Amino acid sequence: MKKSIDIDDMVQRLLAGDRRAAARLITLVEDGMEKSHEVMKRVYPHTGQAMILGITGSGGVGKSTLTDQLIHKLRKQGKTVGVVVVDPSSPFSGGAFLGDRIRLQSHSQDDGVYVRSMASRGYLGGLSRSTYDVIRIIEAMGMEVIIVETLGAGQDEVDVIHIAHTCLLVLTPGMGDDIQAMKAGIMEIADIIVLNKADLQGANTSLRHLQSTLSVASLKGKEWIPPIIQTVSVASKAENIQGIDELTAAIARHHEYLQKTKVIDQIKFERVEQELGLIFKDELQKLIFKGLKGTGKKKKYINSIIEARADPYSVVEEVLNTYLVPRQ
Ligand SMILES: Nc1nc2c(ncn2[C@@H]2O[C@H](COP(=O)(O)OP(=O)(O)OP(=O)(O)O)[C@@H](O)[C@H]2O)c(=O)[nH]1
Ligand SMILES: [Mg+2]
């Protein structure tokens, strides 16, 4: 017989920092089982204290390499660090996923670091409900800083900005066209712009591009103008790594700005708003399908759509009006 999991016990162990408990709870939540509600109800009150750092940018710009450097720096400052890598590139397309594992493995013996990769995204490209939950679980484990690495920028909807207190947008030299295309969105996404691979040709041209883009944006009276930090996050000699101190200083300055202006409250509000929306979406669907079960109505609706007597939008409206609109 399969041993049932004692959720209370598991959550207690999580709160004490037990990595195996964290891994099991994360698996439960990722599977989306009924039990995940029980897990999250217990976990949630122990969250909300961590500083959340988003790192986003196109594939291969150096997000994981930078994360690795930031972990080293934060550990030196005595902070514990959790990392969630969302949507690691497919192991079939160049093995960056494996790359993440290898790069971040140097911390695998360190109890103050917990790394988790997740392959899940919502069907429209935004972060999925389980991503929000996994971040909460790692917070409850006691990690003081949580780094969320997401692939994206530009056209994509980058919802990490609804979770991250500070969002780093990572660019590399030679991304002139991308930067042009992003002009409008750049201020929305980035609290700090990282021009990584500053050791490559074209770094200065890209820097000038970025500076002029931002100086136009800054005329609009923004309170926080994203600083541009140049970094070299991998080099054969450690002394050739550059910009990491400047980057951590900029993160600290942004953190102070958020506290001083209370913008942090808005970010916390948006995070919960997103969570609520995602949970409602899932639970409403479950509730409605459960309600239709055994009535034969679901089959009838589907057939009427196939036979072009109805369309899914009208069906959803009808069902919602029948079951959810309170009667006068
Ligand atoms: N020259 C140079 N190469 C770098 C630098 N930073 C990272 N790289 C290299 O760029 C490649 C991609 O780095 P990753 O850290 O995996 O990039 P990523 O953005 O996490 O990639 P995905 O997760 O696949 O989107 C690796 O081969 C790194 O060694 C840098 O500052 N200079
Ligand atoms: Mg990566």
At 145 the pLDDT is: 97
Given a cut of 60, whether residue 209 has pLDDT beyond it is yes
Q: Where are the beta strands (DSSP E) in the chain?
A: 51-57, 81-86, 113-118, 145-151, 166-171, 192-195, 228-230
- Ligand 2 centre to CA of 212 (Å) is 28
Give 49-261's CATH code, choosing from 3.40.50.300, 3.40.1710.10, 3.40.630.30, 3.20.20.60: 3.40.50.300
Residue given tokens 């991503």 in the structure block: 131
Residue given tokens 């009808």 in the structure block: 318
At 168 the pLDDT is: 94
Number of other residues whose CB lies within 10 A of the CB of residue 278: 19
Could you report the per-residue pLDDT of 35-54, keeping only the tens digit for each?
A: 899 999 999 999 999 999 99
Cα separation values, 285 from 16, 38, 61, 104, 281, Å: 35, 19, 38, 38, 6
Could you report the per-residue pLDDT of 169-204, keeping only the tens digit for each?
A: 998 997 765 665 565 566 677 899 999 999 998 888
| Percent of residues, the chain, with pLDDT higher than 70 | 82
Residue given tokens 């102070």 in the structure block: 256
Question: What is the average pLDDT across 293-308?
Answer: 93
Cα separation values, 148 from 88, 134, 188, 274, 289, Å: 12, 11, 17, 16, 34
Which of ligand 1's atoms lies nearest the C-alpha of 100? 16
Question: What is the average pLDDT across 6-24?
Answer: 95
Number of other residues whose CB lies within 10 A of the CB of residue 91: 13
At 100 the pLDDT is: 53
Ligand 1 in reach of 48 Cβ (< 6 A): no
Which secondary structure element, helix H or strand E, spans residue 226, and what is its range?
Answer: none
| Percent of residues, the chain, with pLDDT higher than 90 | 53
The residues facing 171 across adjacent strands are 195
Question: What is the average pLDDT across 153-179?
Answer: 75
- Residue 323: pLDDT band with limits 50, 70, 90: confident
- Pairwise CA distance, residues 140 & 160, whole Å: 19
- Ligand 2 centre to CA of 1 (Å) is 40
Burial 294-322 (b: 16+ CB within 10 A, else e): eeeebeebeeeeeeeebeeeebeeebeee
| Alpha helices, H only, the chain | 7-15, 19-30, 35-43, 63-76, 96-104, 129-140, 176-189, 203-218, 244-261, 263-292, 297-306, 312-323
Ligand 1 in reach of 80 Cβ (< 6 A): no
Ligand 1 mutation target, pool 147, 160, 234, most atoms within 8 A of CB? 234
- Pairwise CA distance, residues 130 & 263, whole Å: 26
- Listed in sequence order, the residues at least 6 apart from 201 whose beta carbon sits closer than 8 Å to its beta carbon are 173, 174
Ligand 1 in reach of 247 Cβ (< 6 A): no
At 91 the pLDDT is: 43
- Pairwise CA distance, residues 85 & 147, whole Å: 8
Which secondary structure element, helix H or strand E, spans residue 132, and what is its range?
Answer: helix 129-140
At 90 the pLDDT is: 46
Ligand 1 in reach of 122 Cβ (< 6 A): no
Atom 12, ligand 1: which residue's CA is nearest?
Answer: 60
- Residue 103: pLDDT band with limits 50, 70, 90: low
Given a cut of 90, whether residue 328 has pLDDT beyond it is no
Q: Which of 56-60, 112-116, 245-249 has the lowest mean pLDDT?
A: 56-60
User: Does residue 118 contact residue 84 with C-beta atoms inside 8 Å?
Assistant: yes
Domain residue extents for the chain = 49-261, 275-323
Atom 2, ligand 1: which residue's CA is nearest?
Answer: 197
Which tokens go with 164?
A: 């991250």
At 96 the pLDDT is: 42
Which of ligand 1's atoms lies nearest the C-alpha of 88? 23
Find the farthest-apart pair of alpha carbons in the chain and give their distance in angstroms, rounded.
74
Ligand with an atom nearest the CA of residue 235: 1
- Pairwise CA distance, residues 28 & 74, whole Å: 30
Which tokens go with 56?
A: 């986003």
The residues facing 53 across adjacent strands are 147, 166
- Ligand 2 centre to CA of 63 (Å) is 5
At 88 the pLDDT is: 63
Ligand 1 in reach of 63 Cβ (< 6 A): yes
At 93 the pLDDT is: 36
